[in-house]
Structure 1
Amino acid sequence: MPDKKHTTTSSQVNEDAKDSAQLELEIARPLNRLQESSGNPVFVVDELFNVVAFANGARSILGSTRSTDFSLLDCDSLSPEQQARLTEEVRKVLVSEDPKLQRFLRLEVEGENGARVFCLTFEKEALCGGRDGVRCTAEPLLAKSPPHSPPAITKGAEEAIIGWTFDKDTKVFEHFGNDDVGEMGNVHLSEWLTCVSENERSLVENAFSDILEGDASEINIQYRVTLATGVTRKVSTLAKWAPATNGQSPSALIGMHQYNFDNQSVVEDLKLFSYLARKVQLSILVYDQFGNISWCNNAFSECTGYKFEDIVGRDPNDLLRGPLTETSSVRHMRDRIRKGKAFHAELVQYKKNGAPYWVSIDGNPLVDDSGKVTRFISFQTDITETKKTQSAILRSEIKFRSLFDNSTDALLLLSPKDGVIIEANMSSFKLLDTERLVGQRFEEIFPEHPDFRVDHLNTLIDENNGHQRHSAEFITTSGQVRPVEMTVSRTPIGESIALFVTLRDVSEKRLLEEQLRHTQRMEAVGRLAGGIAHDFNNLLAGQRGFSELLCNSRDLSKKDHVYANEILKITDRASKLTSRLLSFSRGKSDRPVVANLNELIGNMMPMLSRILKKEVRFTSQLDPSLSNVKVDTNQIDQVIMNLVVNGQEAITSHDGVVTLKTSMIQLTGAEIFITGKPKPGKYAKVTVRDNGQGIHRDVLEKIFEPFFTTKKGAGTGLGLSIVYGIIQSNGGHLMVDSEIGSGTEFSFYFPEVLEEVKREDSPDLLERMPSAESSKSGATPTILVAEDQEQVREILELGLGQSGYNLVIAKDGLEAIEKGKNYDGTIDLLLTDSIMPGASGATVVKEMQKAYPDIKIVLMSGLPQQESVECQELEIDAYVDKPFSIRKLLELIQDLVAVPKN
């Protein structure tokens, strides 16, 4: 027990900052003496919570009659709550892995001479047999005054009394008597009620209301008020009616407020704070319930440079906070203090010299016997050096976080022990089509792939120098099949190691690869088709030439002429077939021409009937009044072909029908098609309709996008995009309408043109072929023929020779150059194939133009003119597609080498 001369009175508690600092020193002296002495009560508890040893009067604290080996729950002097708290502190020390851990507990024990207060220190201690125990040292603090010792109600005592009168009409208090706690002045009842604690305000208001309305004869209540100094105190209010005068009813109350300052508890708490301040090397601040500083320890003063008298009663936000302090952290602490809750915060504070420093604050409320929060104690740790170390890590983490969150790949962090997902970015939720990832085991995402089990991944990483890559497919919750490429490696996360998994959706990559393969196949088919068409046209050129010569022969019978004419017609149809083959395979076509869509569809009927499935019926409804349009006929063939094939693919029943219909329609210009608004006027309309399964509205708007397809594993997604491009490039418009279960209808429109379809006149095959004209000297033009195909070369030799031209025949490009340069005379015209072995037609043309500057050039090819690379760079006079007409070729040559008329 400390001496009575050290007992602090209430007036000392309320002295200025200098007296408060002195109070701390006075409290610390007896505590130091107690700590230096070796006579403090001490007892030892084993791991079963039994007291196995005690000394220096510890038996009287515990209240046990047994010498040793009694349970903490058998201590008679302790209440059940105290026994439970003591047992809990012992347990925390026993389970701790820190051998130097100390824990503290304030313990109040009732005795014959009043209550004794101890600060218990718990430390780990080794017992016999290697067992763990806890050493408990009881350091006496200050005993409460005996209950029979009443406080004196005088100036400077622990309580203060203020008398007052209260006018029932004005409801104003007029104070008199002791003003030890500060002059309150005359105040209205409403002002007084604002000082009363909120949860007790109705109690006071009802008490005054009852006595003023005659429902009670006196007031006798206890409650709490907040004084002008900001301190909360208990108040006992007693009041009665003042005696009436002159026979009138009483008009005033007379009463008193008795303030209980409870400084005894304050002193005990300050002693405990001082003791704890010596035990921990932390800055300690004590706040009142309003958040103002009421106490600090020496460690805080040494850290910040503020002395006790500099900070007591000050708002820490005005004193310690500045520009770098996060307002959100300050709001958080204020809110927790207002609610009486513990808090933790890390923020920037400022020392007395203005230097900023980082501090970690842990605040806890202190409550009185009734459970009311009276103060807050906060432990503050300077973490500036830690923050400096973390700043570089933070910058790297910010970069990592930005990359992690914004990555288009799915990124996951896994526990290497059990494969539980620790963290995932937004792309992971989108790719895996789930709302839950964190906490889920990774192998649950790929249940059918044992290669993705965490133990297998760890093994693969170890065997492959720290990283491993896998490819797999999984089914999302919506039923979609997603191929992924996974890369996994180990990465440090703080002091631990995690598996860093990257999942890349390779659906688009595989689609692009498939599209590339398709494009390469199409390119190969195009080249093959081009080569076949070229060679086939060479064959057709010979066949057509001989047929034409037969038709022109007068030695044949009429019946033979008919046969020859039929061969010629078949040759022309074969030529159109090769042209269409090139258009489909290579996307090349002729220039737009005036055509009738009915005729185009009629020509395609046999082909369309053959390509459709047997269970699909093909019908047509062609409007005989359909107007002409200007289109690329080969491209329109391709559009019709694609739409008809698409229609049959949409049919799954055995009674499928694909209908092709034409009609004339008048458009106003207000219509909106997929390809835009049309110009007003008449349009030829072509409709391809099927009775298939239809297209869903969500998919309908995407069907014309390149590479979009609903044919899983079969389609390329190019057919309808090609249709869209062809219709738009030919100046037409496109529309589609579909309904699930009722089929789909594609319609395209082309504006009407008033021009007539140009039709080639059928020549009289018996009419003589054009012949060469002779000059005045009797000489006929000389033609150098360069052709590697024997049949074409032979027909040219026959046809041109019979017409009277001088011919120089070469079987390839090299021979043509040699014969042309060595010819003894003038060569008037060069007729050469574009593709030949040895030297191409372009080489022959260039060499002959050097040797004969005025020579005429006719280039032949089995490919259409616009597909010939040679003709784009050469200066030529004419281009002839194979197979060609001998008659038209002779007419062309005659025009080029015609002898001038004098």
Structure 2
Amino acid sequence: MRNRTQPMDDIARSSSNSFAEYTADDMVAGYAAAQMGLQRAVSTGMAPDINCALAEIGTASGADRAYLFRLRDRIFVRNTHEWCRPRITAMQSELQQVPISVGEAFWTAFARDNVFSVDDVVAMPYGSELRQALIAQEIRSVIAVPLWQDGAVRGFVGLDYVTDKHRFTPLEKAILQGFAATLDAALHSHEHRRMRQRHHVDLQSARDRITAMVTALPELLIETDDRGVVTGFNQSEPLTFALSPEEVIGQPFEAFLPTHVAQICHKALSEARQNGWSNRFDYTLQIDDQPKRFTLHVTASGTSRSSGHPVFLFVVRDITESFAQDTRVRKLGRAAELSTNLIMLTDAGRRITWMNPATVSRSGVSLDAAIGQLPSDILRYGKGNPAQVESLCALLEQGQDVLEEVQAFDLRGVPYWLNLNVQALRDRDAVTHGFMVVGNDVTAQKLAEVRALRDRQMAMDASRDGIAISQPDGQLYYLNPKFREFLGLPATAKPAFWHDIDQNGVNPDLVTILPELYASGHWTGEVCLQATAKRERYFDVSMSVQDDGSFLTIAREITDRKAAEEQQARLREQLQIAQSRQLVAQLAGGFAHDLANVLAVMAQSLEMLKPVSTPPANQHLERIDAAAGQAQALVGNLTRLGRRSAPKTKFDIGQIIGQAADLFRPGLQRQIGLTVDLPQDPVIVAGDTTSAMQVMLNLMLNARDALVLNDTPAPTITVALRMANAAELLVPVDLGVLIEGQPYALVEIRDTGMGIAPEIQQQILEPYFTTKGTQGAGLGLTIVADILEAHQGALRLHSEPGIGTNFTVFWPVGTAHLDAIEEKGDTGRPLEGMQVLLVDNDEAMLIALTEKLTRAGAEPVSCNDPREALDAVRAEPQSWRAVVTDHDMAPMTGSELATRLNAVHPDLPVIIVTGAEKLPSTTNSVITAVLRKPVSDPVLVAVLLKAKLRHLQSSKEKTDASAPADRG
């Protein structure tokens, strides 16, 4: 602080070299102008004149900013007024809630020197919080002087130098201190004037309320002497008590009042004797069975002229209605104070007279500062929408209540949203005395709506379906990225209307879509877009009318599904053709089997007639023989009808499986998983690729149907390919035979369905047997069986109810082994010395089998009655090495014969050769193998050779076991 005894000319001399551009006269002139402006502010309002004064002092001192800071609550200071030189950044909005601790250096300097100044901010101690705050405002030099109130700082005036540094002189400090003192005085004067105005308003309001109360309430006046004896009695209408003056004058209170009221009267009289007046006393009386509330007070009204004793006046008022009203008002006032809604009361000019704590907290404006201001000044909702303020005022001027959502701003400029309800407060004569403003804070709801809209847009943007929102006139509001991809629109394109999009599949369809959409509010259908000259894209489209009248369009591409459906239709047609052919082949095969037996009898009879016929009959016998030969050829053709040829072409079966999976996968339901496990190296097999494809597709379709029909949880189909190992070739198969020494490719097709019951497993390979009802033909697995038999393959079925089913296909890898067996059968005798019992009721079949086995070196013995074969084995069980039998015979089938033979000779191999469609299962341990007629020579020889080798191995093991141990 400047030494009060230092002469002003010393100050001027010390500052004579401080200013290059601004002289002491400039400073004084600026201070004078500012002082005059502040003096005018006492009568014209403060804010504009403070701003002008800051501009005058800032310009005169060459500063870049001039400002006024005021303490809010001993915790924060805020910048209330600011002037800035052109092109200098204003900082007022950033300095609305500055912690008082940041300016600790200010407060210390104010207490010590009555001024704070820094000539060079950069030179301040590095790391100082104040230095960082000043540098952040680009301040190079700063000076500030305090405003005092009762010995405490209540604010300060400051100057910032941003463009250049500045060295502050004592004269500058003194002038700024004088300016601060003038400003402080002006602020005090303004605050006192506002306080007087507010007190005047409050006093006038209180007077008005008292006047209205006194006027409205009935009044009872009682005059007494100093002993409490009534000397006068006056009662206005309506009567409070049904008493006349004659009944009470000259009587004490106890004579006409209840005891508790009489006691109150004596107490009030005692106070009036001592003080000249009494406090107010309230009490309740039951009048006409209704509680009535009264108020009583006593004043000394002088001295009786006759007796010279003091006289006291009792004033009694009925306050029943006002008491009830005041009680309601207090409750309402308390409710308003505790309410979380923003509540303000105004006068008829819409100037605020009261607002609740919630309003103070949300707006950041104290009640004192808000008194006399407009609600729009406190809520600042005109900041974002000035036209809204004018609209609301216009409605109120027309006498209408207001209910509208507004965006308000607090002191820091942070927005919040209110549902604003403004209602006029009118008296009984409909005269407006004020307004009540209630604001319901809906900020959380508004932010939640914004988040919901943002989340919905993010979800729509991430959707794999195309989503569009449009108006009925075709104007587009929104297209998500997927819809843009469907329409071939880049992300930057902004089509305004549907017709801006040149899509032949969209715009023509709208002509038929819109009528139904308007009629029902919804349309669903299929739309085709021409993507290229040779390719069409298909979409499932759903359009619906929203509450606001807009159209929501959702599109999902189904091009791949359509292609898969077409492929499945073609595949289904091929399977139906194959099944039809199979049906014809089975009918022809059955007919050929019976006809072959008849022709065999005819041929045998012709052979018997030839030696004994005469020359005239020989010619006829030759013609009959030729016709029979042709008939047998026709029977052979019928037998081969529908049978697939298996050309020995080589192919990678893994590639076939992959192609089958590609055809099969599009037809799967979404929840069904398909896993394909193929080796990296190709697996080369011999056969027909179309037949191999049919085997794989039929088994995959079977697995899919098992999962769909049984509604299996987490359904999965697994297809795996590998080479079969030696252990897997030893396990019995359900169809075909596994040739020892022949390598096989093993294909497993597993599903996680409900499995197949054991009784159904015995029937599953039968023609026409199906578990799918009318949806199945029962020929799929029959086709698989025919193909595998034609390729010398085999099939094994393993199923566990509740776990799943596994079909294992054994496909020969190459035919070198079978070719070698066939070649050896032609040139050598692999079955040399093997006694084989042949059983068939068809003589021709017995002859053919005998010839085949004889060429291979076996010693076949045939019989056409299974009972004879059973007797032969019983007679010499160890003489036979194998039995080859037909299945459909009388009086017992091949399976029944095998069971009985097993009881006689458990180690005797039984091989069934049959032309029937229903095959016995080899899982029955009494049957070694089942071969379908016509059986190929190498397969039959291979099966018997396997049986022979097993017998020799078994005999060797028994011999080794019975030989004496070596004692050496």
After TM superposition, the score normalised by the length of structure 2 is 0.32
Q: Which has the higher contact order (CA 8 A, sep 6+)?
A: 1
Comparing both structures, which one devotes a greater share of its residues to helix? 2
After TM superposition, the score normalised by the length of structure 1 is 0.34
Work out which of the two has the higher radius of gyration on C-alpha atoms and give 1 or 2: 2
